[in-house]
Structure 1
Amino acid sequence: MNHSHVNGTRGLYALLILSALFAVKGAWASEELIFTEAQISALGIEVVNPAIADVAPGPSYPARVELPPGQEHVVTAGEGGVVEAVLASEGQTVAAGEPLLRLRSAGIAALEREYLQAREQAALARQQTERDEALYREGIIPERRVQESRSALAQAHTLSQGARQALEAAGLDAKDLHTLEQTGRVSSTQILRAPFTATVLEVMVRNGEQADPSTPLLRLGQTSTLWLEIRVPVEDLAGLSVGAGVQVLHATVLGRVILIGQQVEPADQSVAVRAEIHTGAESLRPGQLLQVSLLEPSGAHAFRLPASAVVHRGEGQYVFVQSPQGFRVEPVRVLSTSTGDVVVNGTLSTDDRVAVKGIAALKGAWLGIGGE
């Protein structure tokens, strides 16, 4: 086979495709290049996903990872007792209802006994009320007797509900209460369970320790959403706005500024800036100290791409991002370059597919829209 003939045929085919594209340039929307899959393949266009750059641009600032309010829960010993076994460890993710700790508590046994007695009294009062209502309908007893029975039933029900609420406040969940009601067996052993899916942030007791009533035992946190509390010098606040991008240095962690404080810290003349992390929160821990960069003015993040992905037009820098119609032209700013790679700042995402080969064909089609 004559390879030069085949290569020449492919080159001619690509040239014909480009000619056709230039001929229909009026069909393109602004900065949108229309290509079919067959044309993309024939022109040898290849794409890659941008990678989050491991070093963000610009100056860095100290930050501390914080849990938003409402996402932290402290497990306490409601009635106190002796810690028989700690069933969860720091850093462990626990599901809702999963056992955290086992206590032996005389106070819990007393509350369970009171609840069972109150339930029994309520059941007896209900039976008495039903009998009296039947007798009243038959004209055997006066209405006053029925009213007294109903009042006694209401009081018994109130006492039963109060005893149940005392057990709930002490840490028994619906499953524990159902077991108690079905078996009627009083136990001094209490299993404390996770109220929701969370991470164990801190274990504050050890096996065998005496825990007084309301003593904190474990600290839980829902870490799916985390905040960064950033200290920014007053002179660096110019141009910073809510919505600006935040990037943790040497980590694939991204966020957005949600609050810029008004109070200046006299000691270092800094202002608190709060950001909410939306990518990479699972790699951080509340209380962790780190360094971050603020990305302004667009709030876009820094991404690493092969150097071949970036094209220049005038003083601007651009990449071609694959779209359902073909490719769209996306402006970027080159922050740094290294052998074969560039770090760019732009409104990209790691899900985008950026062209890295066949760039000449894309640029030619683009310039055909409006020329230089």
Structure 2
Amino acid sequence: MKVSYLTGLSLLALSTLALANDELILSAKQITTLGIRSETLPTKQAGEVSGLPAQVVVPGGQLFIISTPLPAMVEQTLVGVGDSVKQGQLLAKLQSPALAEAQRGLLQTSTQAQLAKENLSRDEQLWKDGIISESRYRTTRGLQIEAAAALAERKQMLRLSGMSEGAISQLQSGKALSSLLSITSPIDGVILEKNVSAGQRLDAAVPILKVARLNPLALEIQAPLAHTSKLQIGALVTIPKFQASGKLIAVGRNLSGNNQTILLRAEINKGTENLRPGQFVEASVAVSGNQAQWNLPNSALARVAGKTLIFVTSEKGFRPVNVSVMNEGAQTSMISATLKGDEKVVVHGVSSLKAQMMGIGGGE
């Protein structure tokens, strides 16, 4: 009962002290004996939510999967994982009998289309001269349209196989058939994955390479629901450990089932060379509002009766100030409080001041 009574008096004293903005008056000898040391507040920071778990990913529009357009055998690969490539650069050579067959089909269809065009020109003139009926002319016209459509289809098949317009034109002009498939890069980027080796036989549509443009990168952030009300699109997003930054581009609408967090997406356009796709990092997101924040060592914080305090030096001693902990880390915490920004805060000996304030410690 005696302990409870003293504790109650101590808490009452704390409440009165905080409300009255009283000071703890200690002599220089007491300060030295108790090991109390103060430091000037660090630079004031804009409000932010820090220490959020995030993963670096490649934006969808910057990632390409290169697949085999036709059944083929890998003759040669010219790049490896991590290589930088340019748009149109040759990445691999494949041998595909199906390609030669597709080219032969193009030549046949091209010949049929040319014949259908000549027949249409002839029958059109005969119809105008009244030599043939209109129905025959219309039949010839229909055959020409079908032949032209078949030719366009064959050309499209070769385009999907990797042949350029120039190569297709040369083929129609009499160039010999070839079974060589040339795989080129669709963008300037970096090879992220390579799934084949020389001599390997592949079916159609088998992924062989993954190439991506790595600037900018995207960041998928998991944020507690409580913080999302202060987040705005366009807010500054930083990855302090890797000197990277960008902006918030999307705030998710649904909660994850396991940890009840919201998915945030950010675009990172500075410091991307320090990051790797798939990497896990800690991110900070600026929040709206003008409330200043300071990053203090955890040794500067005192917790009493459900409140968090810091001790600010004054002319006579030390003044307790209520603070709000915005984000608590292993070594430091982000706090907000009513401060000017030029005060000195006790960073060592806080427990002694806490005891003095509660009437537990003795003085000289």
The Cα of 1:159 is off from its aligned counterpart by 1.1
2:170 is paired with a residue whose SS is helix
The Cα of 1:214 is off from its aligned counterpart by 0.8
Match of 1:204 in 2: 195
Match of 2:167 in 1: 176
| Alignment-mate amino acid for residue 59 of structure 1 | S
Distance of 1:226 and 1:111 partners within structure 2: 39
Distance of 1:92 and 1:298 partners within structure 2: 45
Question: Does 2:144 match 1:153?
Answer: yes
Distance of 1:219 and 1:173 partners within structure 2: 21
Q: CA RMSD in A?
A: 2.6
**What is the number of equivalent residue pairs in this alignment?**
244
Distance of 1:242 and 1:147 partners within structure 2: 61
Question: Does 2:81 match 1:84?
Answer: no
The Cα of 1:234 is off from its aligned counterpart by 3.6
Match of 1:213 in 2: 204
Match of 1:252 in 2: 243
Question: Does 2:256 match 1:229?
Answer: no
The Cα of 1:117 is off from its aligned counterpart by 0.7
* Residue 265 to residue 140, structure 1, CA distance change in 2 (3 Å): closer
Distance of 1:246 and 1:252 partners within structure 2: 11
Match of 2:50 in 1: 59
TM-score (norm 2): 0.60
**Pick from 276, 283, 286: which aligns with 2:277?**
286
2:268 is paired with a residue whose SS is strand
| Alignment-mate amino acid for residue 272 of structure 2 | A
The Cα of 1:203 is off from its aligned counterpart by 1.2
TM-score (norm 1): 0.59
Q: Contact between 1:116 and 1:184, CA under 8 Å: does it hold in 2?
A: no
Question: Does 2:109 match 1:118?
Answer: yes
1:273 is paired with a residue whose SS is strand
Match of 1:334 in 2: none
Distance of 2:85 and 2:165 partners within structure 1: 18
* Residue 242 to residue 184, structure 1, CA distance change in 2 (3 Å): same
Bigger Rg, structure 1 or 2: 2
| Alignment-mate amino acid for residue 90 of structure 2 | P
The Cα of 1:138 is off from its aligned counterpart by 4.1
Distance of 1:289 and 1:178 partners within structure 2: 49
Matches within 5 A, 1:1-372: 59-237=50-228, 239-297=230-288
The Cα of 1:127 is off from its aligned counterpart by 1.6
Distance of 1:188 and 1:73 partners within structure 2: 25
CA deviations 1:131-159 (Å, max 9, x no partner) are 23334444444444433322221111111
The Cα of 1:73 is off from its aligned counterpart by 1.8
Distance of 2:205 and 2:229 partners within structure 1: 48
Q: Contact between 1:234 and 1:269, CA under 8 Å: does it hold in 2?
A: yes
Distance of 2:139 and 2:268 partners within structure 1: 62
Runs of 5+ unmatched residues, structure 1: 1-56, 300-372
* Residue 289 to residue 130, structure 1, CA distance change in 2 (3 Å): same
| Alignment-mate amino acid for residue 228 of structure 1 | L
Identity %: 30
2:182 is paired with a residue whose SS is strand
| Alignment-mate amino acid for residue 69 of structure 1 | G
Q: Contact between 2:66 and 2:210, CA under 8 Å: does it hold in 1?
A: yes
The Cα of 1:58 is off from its aligned counterpart by 6.8
